Amino acid sequence: MENNHSEKVQLLIIGSGPAGYTAAIYAARANLKPVLYQGIQPGGQLTITTEVENYPGYADGVQGPEMMVDFEKQAKRMGADVRFGMATAADLSSVPFKITIDEEKIIEAEAVIISTGASARWLNLESEQRLNGYGVSACAVCDGFFFKGQEVVIVGGGDTACEEALYLSKICSTVHMLVRRDEMRASKIMQQRVDKTPNIIVYWNTEAVEVLGKQKVEGVKIKNRKSGEESVIPVKAFFVAIGHTPNSDIFKGQINMDEQGYIKTINGSAKTNIEGVFAAGDVQDKTYRQAVTAAGSGCMAALDAERYLSAKEA
């Protein structure tokens, strides 16, 4: 470790979705000279979505990647130092906090904002990846609207899958719900709601084999896991709701998290159990997971960090 080159910064922001960039905008305006590392997916999950219609201020909608370019430009214009690179290790045991970038460079920071996001879990089908953004989505709330009055498939058997199926049932003509086992993991009340919704059809012991379509989703080939029988459902969209994984591995054992790895923040703030370390966006929010809520929490994190840093100087 001795020969690694290190750099001292006042505020380090890790991750570059709406949370990280908003934190950078606020922190830069407060003259905290933030350094932001973009991580493995600059722009975060929004770079794998196409049309974003529910972010305020974009009256005609905007492409996800384009919106993240706007966020980045604004952060840079305010004076944030935006860099390409990924945090690969973290030592939060003492101040300055030491974050390793790309396994070689160490950043010593007086305060840290963790906005590393979460990654949707996928089924890892070739066709699912190929049609991602063209009818394949991991967010019904984001993309359901584009399939108004059409038939869609949703995969999953937990509370999120039920919630998203119910959401889709209000927009789409029929929701075909694929559940791997002969029962759901979801809570009883969520299952009852699904059962009571006439346009949700549940397929038990069923998995998706392939998403069909060249340029866009045209159907899904499914297989009954008991009988081995295969069939095709003609649909226009394929939603995957099998959960998300928060990108928090490098902080495990150092910071309070729930059993799924989401970083716990103190209610009504972006503060973690470590003074000077803040968390914003999907890495700490498994409930809403929207661009606008992530941006809001990025603002909270920057304001909390600013107060923390000025109290230290006083």
Buried b / exposed e over 153-178, threshold 16 CB at 10 Å, is bbbbbbbbbbbbbbbbbebbebbbbb
Task: Select from 170, 176, 133, 163 the least CA-distant residue to 148.
Answer: 170
- Tokens at residue 284, please? 């700490």
Q: Which of 277, 299, 253 is nearest to 112 (CA)?
A: 277
- CB-CB neighbours of 248 under 10 Å: 21
C-alpha distance across the termini of the chain, in Å: 33
- Could you give the residue numbers annotated as active site? 139, 142-143
* Residue 67: its H or E element: helix 64-77
